[in-house]
A and B are shown apart, each in its own frame.
Chain A
Amino acid sequence: MIVVEEVYKRFGAVIALDGVCFVARDGEITGLIGPNGAGKTTTLRVLYTVLKPDRGRALVDGFDTVAETRAVQRRIGVLADSRGLYPRLTAREHVRYFGRLHGLGGPLLEGEIERLFERLDMGEIADRRAAGFSKGQTMKVALARALVHRPANVLLDEPTNGLDVGASRGVRDLIREIRDQGRCVLFSSHLMHEVASLCDRIVIIGHGRVLAEGTPAGLRRETGTDDLEDAFLVATKGHG
């Protein structure tokens, strides 16, 4: 479970987060949606511990991202904004590296890697070096290394960005599967149809503030629109 309480963050003169507040529950998919530059990535970066809030706090399973960084890191699986690979390591070595950094090892780790590779259909690239991987293949490796330690909270920054139709559907299926295991999924997107089809709850963010929050049906009701895209436009009106 993820709780974000009144988080402020500025970079020089730019206010990136202006009191962001929301909750992402276990067993639910929470979508963070907003126009480019709204503060989605900054919010996720605070949650996955690479940025510190200027004010306010973010909690993962009750642990503070600043005061209890290590405890938070052990409970999250992250598909970060940048998802670069090591060109000289194989897909398997990437996932093994992150597994070991999470304290896993031996047959347990190797079994988990095998299971993930099967689930993500990575058999073909498992023992190939990452140099020359396609965007889709890179994404699969990045997802596998984010999930290898079976984190209770999964944070995904634009997980389908740049993927083709088939690969996007695969990722969406995986996200649902993680939710169905009772885990907490928080992902960001700027694609309304993706959020609409996936999310149990939606957080609309703009100019560093939460503009609206609720279930897709609730949001439609609140904004008096039939369509989520319209709801989004109504919510972000004057903020975009």
Chain B
Amino acid sequence: MDLRLIAVVFAKEVIDNLRDRRSVLLALFYPFFGPVLVGTMIVLVGQAITNLPTTVFTLPVVGAARAPELIAFLKDNEARVIAAPDDPETAVRSGARDVVLVIPDGYAQKLDSEASATVRVIVDGSRLSATLAMSRTLTLLREYAHVVATRRLEAYGVDPRAAEPLSIRSVNVSVGKNLVGFFLNMMPPFIIFTIFVGGVYLAIDATTGERERGSMEPLLTAPISRGGLMLGKVGAALVFTATALAVHLAAFLAMFQIVSAGDLGLVNPPGVATFSVIFLISTPLMLLAVALQTVIAAVSRSLKETQTYLGLLPLVPSLPGLVLVFVAVEAQGWMMVVPGFGQTVLIGLLVRGEPIALGDALIASAVVLALAAALLTVAAWLYGRERMVLGNT
């Protein structure tokens, strides 16, 4: 196989597609979309977390005068107590109020007689936006009940701990640095998507486009093997894919630097070294993407058909990554032999700063490279068919 001729085809395709707005958009501008989106979300969520503890929430109360001690407790705990509307249930149902606390007649007498006093919390459980106010109200009421109970037990000379055999302290590891880290999980599907989109326009143009515009037939009369011709085109698509991924990773890197500068809780974001490893791990997948695109472009009947198939294709390998955003999994051997999924898991570990096993990376790469080689063989065979000239009708 003449490498010099393959280089001639490669150079022609690169120059031709550098002049094509769609190819350049896909390789140089689309890759910014993911990092900008994730960056914006990190900033927004970071601000929400920062603001949460200091938020004073408004609590309308019916009969506040009947429970001065409870009201004082609520006020001490960041609740702004206001008078309730005349018809509290309608106000909550209509959404005018998130929650209303009702302190009924006889509350003070029951509490004083050491019986159980009842308060009512009016909520609309179907309204998500009211969840936070509801849960804070209930928490504060339970805390106040705990304070009263402790006081009563102490008055009887009983150690309050006897009535509290289980002391619950929930530690939410997602709050603070790691809640923002949730968004790191969004990176693998974006990266996989970029790999399958970066060179797609060139792959379509160089095969289906070449046939449809009638330039394939004269090209096939030139003294270069069909396999060599195909490889030159694949090489050019690979360069566009690699460029797209490099731009994508660089944009993520820049985004993390900008975002963490704002001290929004992102500690040790992935750096240059991590991104270099991600690029390396993605290389076999880039070859697979381009080989798959070339095969599809060679069997499609028309440019439109190719564009439809290849427009949907990036979603398939990206989907498992999207699921992993919400469901945490540990890297396991079987995942490495699923083409694309192994890379998704490995990239996920890398962006979260967790170690990856070299063996896993090698297995995942070998599987994808073998599949890419098989697809390239199929592509070379497809290029050799008479249908390359006559069309797939």
The answer, yes or no, to whether A145 is at the interface (CB within 8 Å) is yes
If the complex has contacts A50-B389, A70-B223, A88-B20, are A97 and B12 also in contact, measured as CB distance less than 8 A?
yes
Interface centre among B5, B19, B219, B225 (most CB of A within 10 A): B219
Query: What 6 A-B pairs have minimum CB-CB distances, sorted nearest first?
Result: A84-B214, A82-B214, A73-B223, A101-B222, A84-B215, A84-B213
Contact partners of A48 in chain B: CB under 8 A? 221
In the complex, which residue of chain B has the Cβ closest to the Cβ of A89?
A: B16
Contact partners of A84 in chain B: CB under 8 A? 213-216, 218
Q: A146 vs B219: C-alpha distance in the bound complex, in angstroms?
A: 10
What size tier do the contact residues of chain A reach? 20 to 34
Contact partners of A74 in chain B: CB under 8 A? 223
Contact partners of A146 in chain B: CB under 8 A? 218
**Scoring B residues 198 to 225 as 1 if CB is less than 8 Å from chain A, else 0, what string do you get?**
0000000000000001111111111111
Q: A49 vs B219: C-alpha distance in the bound complex, in angstroms?
A: 11
The answer, yes or no, to whether B8 is at the interface (CB within 8 Å) is yes
A-B contact pairs, 5 of them (CB 8 A): A76-B221, A89-B15, A93-B12, A101-B222, A101-B223
Contact partners of B224 in chain A: CB under 8 A? 101
CB pair A101–B5 under 8 Å, yes or no, is: yes
The answer, yes or no, to whether B386 is at the interface (CB within 8 Å) is yes
Q: How far is the CB of A150 from chain B (nearest CB, A)?
A: 14
Contact partners of A11 in chain B: CB under 8 A? 390
CB pair A45–B389 under 8 Å, yes or no, is: yes
Q: How far is the CB of A61 from chain B (nearest CB, A)?
A: 14
Q: A96 vs B389: C-alpha distance in the bound complex, in angstroms?
A: 23
In the complex, which residue of chain B has the Cβ closest to the Cβ of A72?
A: B223
**Scoring A residues 24 to 64 as 1 if CB is less than 8 Å from chain B, else 0, what string do you get?**
00000000000000000000010011111000000000000
B residues at A contact (CB < 8 Å): 4-5, 8-9, 12, 15-16, 19-20, 213-225, 386, 388-390
Q: How far is the CB of A86 from chain B (nearest CB, A)?
A: 6
Interface centre among B213, B215, B219, B224 (most CB of A within 10 A): B215
Q: How far is the CB of A159 from chain B (nearest CB, A)?
A: 13
Q: How far is the CB of B387 from chain A (nearest CB, A)?
A: 11
In the complex, which residue of chain A has the Cβ closest to the Cβ of B23?
A: A88
The answer, yes or no, to whether A198 is at the interface (CB within 8 Å) is no
The answer, yes or no, to whether A102 is at the interface (CB within 8 Å) is yes
CB pair A102–B223 under 8 Å, yes or no, is: yes
If the complex has contacts A50-B386, A73-B223, A101-B5, are A82 and B16 also in contact, measured as CB distance less than 8 A?
no
Q: How far is the CB of A135 from chain B (nearest CB, A)?
A: 13
Contact partners of A76 in chain B: CB under 8 A? 221
**Scoring A residues 67 to 91 as 1 if CB is less than 8 Å from chain B, else 0, what string do you get?**
0001001101011111111111100
The answer, yes or no, to whether A98 is at the interface (CB within 8 Å) is yes
The answer, yes or no, to whether A239 is at the interface (CB within 8 Å) is no
Q: How far is the CB of A39 from chain B (nearest CB, A)?
A: 15
The answer, yes or no, to whether A142 is at the interface (CB within 8 Å) is yes
Interface centre among B217, B220, B222, B386 (most CB of A within 10 A): B222
A residues at B contact (CB < 8 Å): 11, 45, 48-52, 70, 73-74, 76, 78-89, 93, 97-98, 100-103, 142, 145-146
Contact residue among B15, B16, B20, B214 (Cβ-Cβ distance under 8 Å from A83): B214
If the complex has contacts A50-B386, A51-B386, A82-B214, are A102 and B221 also in contact, measured as CB distance less than 8 A?
no
Contact partners of A88 in chain B: CB under 8 A? 16, 19-20
Q: A176 vs B190: C-alpha distance in the bound complex, in angstroms?
A: 61
Contact partners of B225 in chain A: CB under 8 A? 70
CB pair B215–A85 under 8 Å, yes or no, is: yes
Q: A45 vs B220: C-alpha distance in the bound complex, in angstroms?
A: 11
Contact partners of B214 in chain A: CB under 8 A? 82-84
Contact partners of B8 in chain A: CB under 8 A? 97, 100-101
Contact partners of B223 in chain A: CB under 8 A? 70, 73-74, 101-103
Contact partners of B15 in chain A: CB under 8 A? 89, 93
Q: A79 vs B215: C-alpha distance in the bound complex, in angstroms?
A: 11
If the complex has contacts A50-B389, A100-B8, are A80 and B221 also in contact, measured as CB distance less than 8 A?
yes
In the complex, which residue of chain B has the Cβ closest to the Cβ of A142?
A: B218
Interface centre among B4, B15, B19, B223 (most CB of A within 10 A): B223
CB pair B218–A82 under 8 Å, yes or no, is: yes
Contact partners of B213 in chain A: CB under 8 A? 84-87
- Given A83-B217, A103-B4, A103-B223, output 18 extra A-B contacts at Cβ < 8 Å: A48-B221, A50-B220, A50-B389, A73-B223, A79-B218, A80-B218, A82-B214, A82-B215, A82-B218, A84-B214, A84-B218, A86-B16, A89-B15, A98-B218, A101-B8, A101-B219, A102-B222, A145-B218
Q: A48 vs B221: C-alpha distance in the bound complex, in angstroms?
A: 6
In the complex, which residue of chain A has the Cβ closest to the Cβ of B224?
A: A101
Q: How far is the CB of A18 from chain B (nearest CB, A)?
A: 18
CB pair B389–A49 under 8 Å, yes or no, is: no
If the complex has contacts A50-B389, A51-B386, A81-B217, are A73 and B222 also in contact, measured as CB distance less than 8 A?
yes
Q: How far is the CB of B224 from chain A (nearest CB, A)?
A: 6
